[in-house]
Amino acid sequence: MITAMMASSYNAKEEDGHHSGAAGHGGAGAVKSRKPDNTAFKQQRLPAWQPILTAGTVLPAFFVIGLIFIPIGIGLYVTSNNIKEFEIDYTGVDSNSPCYSCARNFSSNSTTPCTCSLNFTLEQPFESNVFMYYGLSNFYQNHRRYVKSRDDSQLNGDLSSLKEPSKECEPYRTSESFPIAPCGAIANSLFNDTLELYYVESNGTRNLVPLVKKGIAWWTDKHVKFRNPSGNSNLTIAFQGTSKPVNWRKPVFELDPLDSENNGFINEDFIVWMRTAALPTFRKLYRIIQKKPSTTPTLPSGRYILTVTYNYPVLSFDGRKRMILSTISWMGGKNPFLGIAYITVGSICFFLG
Amino acid sequence: VWGKVFAAESGRQRKKKTKESKTRTVHANILYDSAKGEESPNRHYANNKIKTTKYTLLSFLPKNLFEQFHRFANVYFVFIALLNFVPVVNAFQPELALAPVVFILSVTAIKDLWEDYRRHRSDKEINHMDCLVYSRAERRYVEIYWKELRVGDFVRLRCNEILPADVLLLSSSDPDRLCHIETATLDGETNLKQRQVVRSFYDLDCDFNPLKYTSVIECEKPNNDLNRFRGYIIHRNGRRDALYKDNLLLRGCTIRNTEEAVGIVIYAGHETKAMLNNNGPRYKRSKLERQMNVDVFWCVIILLIMCLFTAVGHGLWMFQYGDKRPVFDVLSPEGTDLSPIMSAIYLFLTMIIVFQVLIPISLFVSIEIVKICQVYFIHNDLELYEEETDSHLQCRALNITEDLGQMQYIFSDKTGTLTENKMVFRRCTVAGVEYSHDANARRLAMYQEVDSEEEECVSHGGTLPRRDSVTSHTSARVVLRSQSTKSHRRTGSRAEAKRASILSKHTAFSSPMEKDITPDPQLLDKVNECSSKMDFMRFHSQSLSTLSSDLCDIIDFFVALTICNTVVVSSPNQPRQKVRMRFELKSPVKTIEDFIKRFTPSRLTSSNNSSSSSLNRSNNRGCSSLISSPSADSTLTKLDEEKTAPDLQHDFTPVPPCFDPAKSWRLEEGELRYEAESPDEAALVYAARAYKCSLVGRLPDQVTVELPHLGKLSFELLHTLGFDSTRKRMSVVVRHPLTDQITVYTKGADSVIMDIIRPPDTGKRQKKIICRTQNYLNQYAADGLRTLCIAKKVLSKEEYACWLQRHLQAETAIQGREELLFESALRLETNLHLLGATGIEDRLQDGVPETIASLRKAGLQIWVLTGDKQETAVNILLTLNADSQEACALLLDESLHYIQAKFLCSSSDQAAKMYLTNNINNMAAADLYPSLPVHRLGLVIDGRTLAYALDRSLEDKFLAVARSCRSVLCCRSTPLQKSMVVKLVRNKLKVMTLAIGDGANDVSMIQVADVGVGISGQEGMQAVMASDFALPRFSYLQKLLLVHGHWCYSRLANMILYFFYKNAMFVALIFWYQFYCGFSGSAMIDQWYLIFFNLMFSAFPQLITGTLDKDVSAETLQHLPQLYRSGQNSEEYKPYMFWMNMIDAFYQSLVCFFIPYFAYADSGVDLFTWGTPITTIALFTILLHLGVETKTWTWMNWLSICFSVALFFTVALCYNASCPTCYSPSNPYWTIQRLLQDPLFYFLCIITPCSALLPRYFYRACQGTLFPSAVQVGRQLDKLPPETRRNILSLSRVTTGSPLSLQPHFLSTNKPLPKDNEGTNNISQTYKKEDAGKDKDTSKDMYSFVNSEGDTLPYTKDLPRGELNISCKTPEALNTSPEVSHGLSPSLVTSPPLLSPTDSVVLPPEHGPPCVRYKRSSEEGIQGQDRTEHKIQVAL
C-alpha cells in the first residue's frame, strides 16, 4: 500500500518535472509541500526601476529643475514687488518721537489714556483693499508657557470652563476668587492700542479713513472656535461671576459694546490676538480699509496722520510697535524672499547641470 | 520484601547522598509502583519532560517587561514618558507621550510571545514522542510519551529508535550483548558505536525480565561530559560491578543494527548529557546593531548638548530681562517666580522630552519589523528550498540577518556539512600498478551533473524485487528503500539519494554512488585472469605458488578488502536481522586446545555442527524468509564444501558459480546489504564487489567471499584485531581456504602500514612496489583522497601458535589488559607484505567547492573544525604529539618563525620585513594581530595540541600562526574546543564569525559564533535547534551570505543611517526654532505630528525600502563575490557616515526651517499655521531623501510613498477638522484646510525639498560618475542587457585592472608542485628536540607525512572545469601559469586559479620548501605545510 503510494508519488514527480504540483499526488505526498511560491514578490523579483545617479542621468534633471524654477521665481518676485507696503514704528524710543512721552510715562493704572499722533506720507497710492496691521517686535508670543496659557473650552463658551478655567491658565486663572474670563496669559496680554488713520488733504483737513474691524479673523475662529457663553444674550449677565483679566481695563463684554456680534469672546481683535504668532517679530491684522467703489485709490498718495492711543507697554522687554499698511496679492503680503529663492535654486541647478 | 529492604537502604543512601551529594542512586521504578511514586527514591530526579520556553502564561507580562527594560532605549523612553507627567517640565499631553512607548513595548512583546510559542511547540513535539516502558501493572512494555519517562524506568528500544533519555544498557538482542548506536546527533560521527550490556547481565541467557531486576545503580551526578560515565551496580547479593561509558546509551542517539535493547533510565530530561551540553542560546546582537548602539549613544550626546544649549540659552534669555518680567514670560503654574537658573534646569528636562525623537524610538521597532520581513523573504527563496526533502531555509534567529552580510570567518564542521559523509571508492594501486578507474571517475562526475543523467542509468540496481514485501513492516521498509534506490538511479541526483535515505531512515552508508563502482577494465581483466587461473590450478591441484606474484597480490588485495573489516551482511528481505548468530563456539579461538582442535581435520564437523545449529537458531528466531538468509546460505555452502571437497588441502567450492543455487538466488533476489561501522569499510567492500569479489556472509568464525570463477570461499576467521586509533589499523587473521595458510590481512593508515611493512631489502620487486605505491599515495593525497594501505602476512602454524599463546595470555590478563593486547597486536602486525593502496573519497556535497571558492573570493576565511577522526590524516605523529605545555609553546614559536622566515625570504619588500621583525618582538601583545600576508600555508592542528594551544598563555601565538595561514584545520576537536576556537577568534581578532555544522557536536560552536548555521539533514535536530539559520545544504550558504546577507546588511545599514538622519533632521527643526522662541522649549510642530511623525507618517516607505531594496541583483552578487566585501568592511555604515548624515540632516533642517521662516517672516502667521507647512516640507524632504537613497523602485515603493503623503494629509485634515476646542495647546482647528487654499504653501513645498536635497543628490551623482564603489559598479552592471553582463562577469575573473576585481586579497597559490619533483623537492624541515633546526631529510618520514596529509582535506578537484577555461582566455593567463595546465595529475589540472593568475604570488621553488614538518622526537604538534595548503587551495 505504502509502496504503491510512494511509487505514484515518484511518478508524479517525474512527470511534472519541476512543478510543485507533484506534491499533491499520492498518499505520501499529501503532506503539503513547503515549497515557497514562485511569485515575483516572494522571490524579490518585482519589476523595478533602478535609477543610477550618474552624471548622465542627473544632468537633465538639473536642467529641468533650473528651467522650471527660474520662471517661477521671476513670477513670484514680480508679484511681490507689485505689492505696496508702508510701515511706521510708533514705539517712541527716540526722544524726538511723538510717542516718546507716552512710552516713558506709561503706567498701567492711569485712567487717562495717553495719545500721540504720527505724520507720514504715502509716496504711492494704494489700490484695492488695504490691510492695516499692527506689528510687534521682540514679543515672544510663541513662548512655550505663554502659548499654553489659555482655555479653549472657555473661549468656546463652555459654561463649566467659564466658571472653572483650565489649570493651564495659571497664574492668570482666578482673580480675587473669581475665575478670569478669558483666562490665561495670552488673553491677559491683549494688545490694546487703538489706531486711527487720518488722511490729510492738501488743504489741511483731516479725514478719518474708515477702518473696518470685521473680517480680520479667520472665519472658523469667529464662528466655530470662539463662542460667547450661551444661555443669555446679554453678555453682562453671561459673564457674571467672572473677573476681567488683570491687565485689562475693561471686562471682556465691553470690548465692543456697540456691536454685539463683535463683543465678548467673539471680538475679532481678541480672536486675532489669541492666534499666537509664530515668530517674535510679527504683525497682526488690525483693520481693513476697504476699496472704494469709485476709481479713486483706497489710499491716495499724500500725507496721513496716525493717532495712537498708547496703552500697550513694550519697552520693558525692548519691544517695538509698528503700524503697517499693505495691499495683498494672491500670494499674500509683500515678501520677495520666495521669488529670490526660486531664482537662486534654479540658477544653482542650471549651473550645476 | 525486597522492596522494603531497598527502600530502607535507599533511604540511608539518600541521606548519605544529601551529605556527599556526589552520586546519584537509581532504583528500578517498578519496585515502587504501588507507592505511586511517593516512595520512589527516584522522585527527586528530573523527569524527562523538557522545556525550553522562557515564559509561562502568567509570567509572560512581568518577565517580558523586565527583559525589555534591559534594553536601555526602552528605559529611556519610559523615563521620558513619565517625565511628561511632571507639570513643571511637561511638553506634551502625558497620555499622548505614552503612546509610542506602549506601542513599541507591545510590538516587541508580541514578537517574543510568538517566538516562545514556537519553542513551546517544538518542545511539545519532542515531549510527545513515544517510547516503550515496562509497566508493572500490565507486565509488559507499554507505549508512553517521552515526557512521562522517569529515572528508573525500564525502556525497550528498537532498531532505529531515538533514545529518549540516558539509558544504562541491560540487555540486547545482539548475540554479543552489544548494542550499536549512532551518535551522530551528539558528536557528528556517523560510524556506529558499540555499547555493551552491563557485565552482570552479560551472561543472561534468557530475555531480560525487568521484574527480576533488583539491583541498585550508583553513579555520578549528571554532568555534560559525553565521554565519561562512572558508577557501579550493586546486586542483591552485594556484588558490585563497575559501569563505564560503554554501558550508557545517550539521549538523542539512534539505535542501529540492534533489534532490541532494554535499559534503565539513569538521567532524564534536562539532566541528560545531551541536554546538559546544550547551553541556552546566547542573546545575539548583530554587529550592525552594536555599531548602531554606539551611534545611538552619540545621538544621546547630541541630544544632551542640544538640551544644554537650549537651557543655557533660556537662562540667558531670562536673565536679559532682569527683574522686569515681560508679559509673555508666564509664571510657573504655582505662580512662583522662577529664577533664570531654575527655569533653565526645568527647561533642560523639557527639552529632553521635546527632542526625544532624536533617539529614534521607532528605530528599534522598525528594525525588528524589517528583520522579520527579511527573514520572510529568505524563507521564501526558491533557491534555498530543497525539493527533495521539502525543506527550506529556516531562520531561527530573527535579529541577526544582517550579520550574514558581514562575515569574515567561517568555521565549518566537515563531515556531513562539507562532505556527504559518504565514502566513495575512487582509485587503487595494487602491487605497484595504479588503476586509475577513469570510468569510475566519470561515473562520479556524472552524479554531479545532477539531473542530466536520466538515460544514463545503469539497470542492475533498479530491479529489486517487490513481490513478497507487502506484509511485514520490515519488508515494506526494504521496498521503500529499493524504491528510493531506484529513484536516485533514475534521476541520478544526489539530492534524490539524500531524500531516499531520509525516507528509509536507515541506509547507513550505501547510496548507489558508493555501491556501483565501475571497475577499471584493466584491473578487471587481471582479476578475471587471475581467478580463472586459480580456478584452473585448483582443478588441477597445482600449488598456488606458481601463480605470478602480481596476480597473487591482486587476488589477495581484493580478499583483504572484502574480509578485513567488520561489515555485517544482511539481505534486503530481512534488513534488521543481523546475520551474526550466537554460537556455542565463540570466535575467536579461545584456547590452545581449541586451536589444536580447530586445526585438525575434524574441524569441519564441529564447525558444521555449529553452523547447522546456527541454522536452527535462526529458524527459531522466526525470520520471515529463512532461505534467503545469508547465514543459511553460507551454511549451504559449507555443506557443499563438505560434500565435494573432502580434501582439506583444497578447501573450495567446486560448483561453478552459474550453478550455484545461492548465487542464482542472489541474482534473483537482489543485492546483499552491507552495514559497516565506518563508511570507509563499506566503500571498500562495495569496491571489491565491483570486481566480483563480494562478501556474502560473515559469521563470527568465518567469512564467506564469492570470487569469480572460484565461487564461494569460506575464510575461517581466527582473529579480528579491531581498529583503534592508536594503531590506526585493523587486522584479521584467517585461514586461507585455497592455500590453507594462516594469513594476516591488515588494513590501515598508509603512514602506519608503511612503517610496518617488511623492510625493503628483502626483495627488489617489493622495494619497487613500495616506492611506487608511495608515489601513488602521494598523488592520492594530493587529490585529497583518503588513503588506506592493504598488506598481508603469511604465518606459519608455529608462528601463529606462538603468537596465539601470548595473545591469549594477554586476553586473559587481569591487569593492564589493554596494553598487553596492544602489544600483542603490534607483535602480529610486523613484516607485512604490501599489497596495495586505495584512495577513497569522502565526497563533498553538491556545489561545496564552488561555494567555498566563491566564499573565499568574497574574502571569507574558512576554518574547518571537525570532530572526525582524521584517521589517516595527520596520523600517528600528531597523536603522539606535544604532551606538555612548553612543547606546544615551542612548536607554536617555531611555526611562527618558520612562517616569518619563509615570508622574509620570499618577499622583497623591506617594509614588510621591518614590520615582521617588529612583530616577532611583540608577538605576545594581544592587540598586535598583524595583518600578516595571508600565506599559502595551511595549519593542521589536532585536538590534543589544540588543548594546549588554546591555553591563555599560548592563544595569542596560536592565533598569530593561524592568521598567517590561509586555511586552518582542527581535527579531532571536541565540541568544547570547537567553541573555544570560535570564541578565541571572535574575541581576539574582533571579527565576525559564522559556524556551520550539522551535528550536536557543533552545537556549542554554533552558539558561540556570531552566526550559527545548522545543516538540517539526517543528523538530528540539535544543531538546527541551536542554530540561527538552518540550511538544507551547505551550498546554500553561498546565496544566503552573498545575496541575502549582502542585501540584509545593506538594507538595514542604509535604513539605520536613514533613521538617524530622519530623526536628527526633524528634531533640528525644533532646535532652530528655539532661537526664535526665547529658548522656551516651544515647538511649532503640533505635538501630534511630532509624536506620530516617526511612527506613522514617515514609517512605511523606509520599511518598504529596508525590506525590498536591492542594491545589486542577486545574479551579479553571486557572480561577483567580491561585492561581499562591502559588508565585511562595513562600507555601507561607517562611523563617518553617521556624522555625514548628521551634517546633512542639519543642513536639510536649516533649509526646511529657514525657507518657511523667511517666507513667513514678519507676517501674521500663527505658530501652528507656520509649523504645519514645516512639517509637510520635512515630510516631503525626508521622503525624497529616501527616494534618492532607494536603488530599486518597485510599485511598492511608489505606493508606500504615496501612502505616506496621503496618510499625512488625511490625518491632518481629519485632525484639524475634528474638534475646535480640543488638542490644547495647539488647537489646530482648520489650519491645514486654510493652508491648502494658500498658494504660498505649495510654492514652499516645491522649493524646500529641492534645495534641501540638492547637495546630496549632487554628491551621489558625482560619486556615481567619478569614483563609483564596487557596489555601484555592480549596480551599473545590472542595468546592462543580460548578454553583455554575462560577458563582463566572466571577464572580470581574469582582468585585474578592472574596478570589479578589488584589491587582490588572496595570494592564491596557483603553482602546484610539479609532480616529478615531488620526491626531491620536498625538503622536510625537521626540528629535533635535541638539535632543533637541523634539517633532516628522510624521505620515508616525509612520505608518511605527505601521505597522511592526503586525508586531512579530502576535497579537491570538484571545481568546474569551466572556470579553467575562463581563466585561460587571456594569453597572459596561459603564460604566467603554465604549470596549471600541464603535466599534472588530473586533480591539479582541475584546480584552476580562483582568481586571475596574475594575482597569484608564485614563489620560486628554491624558496618555500613545499613541505615542512616540525618534529620533536616523536612529538608532533603543528604542521604548517604547503601541501595541505595547496590542497585546501585547490579545494577551497
Give how far Cα B3 sits from Cα of B14, B24, B41, Å: 16, 19, 11
pLDDT at B594: 53
> Which residues lie across from B219 on neighbouring strands?
B24, B231
> What pLDDT sits at residue A97?
87
Question: CB–CB of A171 and B382 under 8 A?
Answer: no
Q: What is the C-alpha separation between B385 and B391, in angstroms, rounded?
A: 6
User: Has residue A340 got a pLDDT over 90?
Assistant: yes
B105 within 8 A of B74, measured Cβ to Cβ: yes
Region of poorest pLDDT, from B437-451, B619-633, B687-701 = B619-633
Examine the pLDDT at B1378 and tell me if it is beyond 70: no
Of residues B1163, B1221, B1254, nearest to A153 (C-beta): B1221
B1346, B781 contact by CB (below 8 A)? yes
Rounded to an integer, the average pLDDT of B486-508 is 39
B1163/A155 CB distance under 8 A: no
pLDDT at B1174 over 50: yes
Q: Do A185 and B328 touch (CB under 8 A)?
A: yes
For residue B731, is pLDDT > 80?
Answer: yes
Convert the pLDDT of each residue in B1043-1101 to its tens digit.
Answer: 999 999 999 999 999 999 999 999 999 999 999 998 988 999 988 898 888 888 888 89
**Of residues B1166, B1225, B1275, nearest to A278 (C-beta):** B1166
Residues within 8 A of A (CB atoms), B 365-394 only: 377, 379-382, 385, 387, 390-392
Give the distance from residue A228's alpha carbon to the nearest chain B alpha carbon, in angstroms. Answer: 14
**B46 falls in which pLDDT band (50, 70, 90)?**
confident
Structure confidence at residue B1157 (pLDDT) = 94
CB nearest B328 (choices: A42, A189, A345):
A189
Do A167 and B333 make contact, defined as CB atoms within 8 angstroms?
yes
**pLDDT tens for each residue of B1116-1167:** 888 888 888 888 888 888 889 999 999 999 999 999 999 999 999 888 899 9
The C-alpha of A349 sits at a distance from chain B's nearest C-alpha, in angstroms, of 8
- B723 marked as binding residue: yes
CB contact under 8 A, B1221 and A23: no
Nearest by CB to A156, from B332, B1084, B1221: name it: B1221
Bridge pairing between strands B568-570 and B673-675: antiparallel
Q: What is the pLDDT of residue B972?
A: 65
Chain B residue numbers with beta carbons less than 8 Å from the beta carbon of A11 are none
Mutate to test the interface with A, among B383, B1166, B1172 (most CBs of A within 10 A): B1166
- Residue bearing the bigger pLDDT, B1289 or B1194: B1194
Can you give the pTM of this predicted structure? 0.72
Encode pLDDT of B987-1044 as tens digits.
888 888 888 887 667 777 887 888 888 887 655 566 776 778 888 888 888 888 899 9
- Whether the CB-CB separation of B1324 and B1358 falls below 8 Å is answered with no
- The pLDDT, as a whole number, for residue A337 is 93
pLDDT tens digits, residue range A15-49? 333 333 333 333 333 445 778 888 888 888 888 88
B1258 touches chain A (CB under 8 A): yes
> What confidence score (pLDDT) does residue B291 get?
86
- Contact pairs from chain A to chain B, CB under 8 Å: 284
DSSP 8-class letter at B154:
E
Q: How confident is the model at residue B88 (pLDDT cuts 50, 70, 90)?
A: confident
Residue B1379 binned pLDDT confidence (cut-offs 50, 70, 90)? very low
| Separation in Å, CA of A48 to nearest CA in chain B | 4
CB contact under 8 A, A317 and B483: no
Q: Which of A1, A44, A223 to mutate to test the interface with B (most CBs of B within 10 A)?
A: A44
Residue B1327 has pLDDT above 70, yes or no: no
The share of chain B scoring above pLDDT 70, in percent, equals 63
Half-sphere exposure of A8 (CA within 13 A, CB side): 11
Q: Does B1262 touch chain A (CB under 8 A)?
A: yes
- How confident is the model over A100-114, as pLDDT tens digits? 888 887 765 666 788
A58-76, pLDDT tens digit by residue? 888 889 999 999 999 999 9
Q: Which of the pair, B1370 or B814, is modelled with greater confidence?
A: B814
Q: What is the pLDDT of residue B892?
A: 58
| ∠ Cα B837 B843 B847 (to 5°) | 150
pLDDT confidence bin for A289, thresholds 50/70/90: very high
Least CB-CB distance to A170: which of B328, B333, B1193?
A: B333
Question: What are the chain A neighbours of B473 within 8 Å (beta carbons)?
Answer: none
Residue B142: which H helix or E strand, with range? strand B140-145
Q: Is B1295 one of the annotated binding-site residues? A: no
Residues of B in contact with A108 (CB under 8 A): none
Complex confidence, ipTM: 0.90
Q: A3 vs B466: CB contact, 8 Å cut-off? A: yes
* β-strand pairing of B938-942 with A174-175: unpaired
Interface test with A, best of B85, B324, B325, B328 (most A CBs within 10 A): B328
The residues in B 1052-1081 lying below 8 A from A, measured between CB atoms, are: 1076-1078, 1080-1081
- Identify the three-state secondary structure at position B837: strand
Is B666 or A246 the better-scoring residue by pLDDT? A246
Q: How sure is the predictor about B911, in pLDDT bands with cuts at 50, 70 and 90? A: very low
pLDDT at B168 over 60: yes
Is pLDDT at B877 greater than 90 in this prediction?
Answer: no
The answer to whether B978 is annotated as binding is yes
B1162 is in an annotated binding site: no
For residue B266, the model assigns a pLDDT of 86
- Asked if A281 and B1162 come within 8 Å (Cβ–Cβ), the reply is yes
A24 forms beta bridges with none
Q: Write the single-letter amino acid at B851.
A: T
Maximum average pLDDT range among A86-100, B324-338, B1371-1385: A86-100
Q: Which of B166, B295, B413, B520 is catalytic?
A: B413
pLDDT band at B1323 (very low <50, low <70, confident <90, very high): very low
Among residues B1043, B899, B879, which one has the least CA distance to residue B963?
Answer: B899
The DSSP bridge partners found for residue B157 are B261
Residues of chain A with Cβ-Cβ distance to B391 below 8 Å are 34
Q: Does B1169 touch chain A (CB under 8 A)?
A: yes
**Residue B1040 with chain A: CB contacts under 8 Å:** none
**Tens digit of pLDDT for each residue in A109-157?**
666 788 899 999 999 999 888 999 999 999 999 998 898 888 999 998 8
Q: Which pLDDT score, from 0 to 100, does residue B901 have?
A: 52
Confirm whether residue B868 is marked as ligand binding. yes
Instruction: Using CA coordinates, name the residue in chain B closest to A28.
Output: B503
Is the pLDDT higher at B458 or at A190? Answer: A190
Least confident range from A158-172, A274-288, B1231-1245: namely A158-172
Whether B1224 and A166 lie within 8 Å, measured CB to CB? yes
| Min Cα–Cα distance to chain A from B1167, Å | 4
In this complex, the residue of B91, B328, B476 whose CB is nearest that of residue A140 is: B328
User: Is residue B978 predicted with pLDDT exceeding 70?
Assistant: yes
Q: State the cell numbers at B589.
A: 579461538
- Contact of B637 with chain A, judged by CB distance below 8 Å, is answered with no
**Interatomic CA distance for residues B766 and A187, integer angstroms:** 117
The pLDDT value given to residue B952:
75
Q: Which residue of A has its CA nearest to B321?
A: A317
Three-state secondary structure call for residue B1133: coil
Closest-CA distance, B1001 to chain A, in angstroms, reads 28
The per-residue pLDDT for B1250 is 92
B324/A316 touch (CB, cutoff 8 Å), yes or no: yes
**Cα separation of A87 and A76, whole Å?**
22
Residue B231 has phi, psi (to 5 degrees) of 170, -175
Average pLDDT, chain B: 69
3-state DSSP call for residue B877? Answer: helix
Assess whether B1166 carries a catalytic annotation: no
Question: What value, to the nearest 5°, has the Cα angle with vertex B285 and ends B282 and B289?
Answer: 175
Q: Which residues contact B943 (CB under 8 A, 6 or more apart)?
A: B970, B971, B972, B973, B974, B977
- Beta-bridge partner residues of A53: none
- Structure confidence by residue, pLDDT tens digits, B1133-1143: 888 999 999 99
Give me the pLDDT at residue B278, please.
63
What average pLDDT does this structure show over B907-923? 34
Higher pLDDT, B776 or B514: B776
Quick one: average pLDDT of B872-890? 39
- Cβ–Cβ under 8 Å, residues B786 and B874: no
Nearest to B385 among A35, A55, A166 (CB): A35
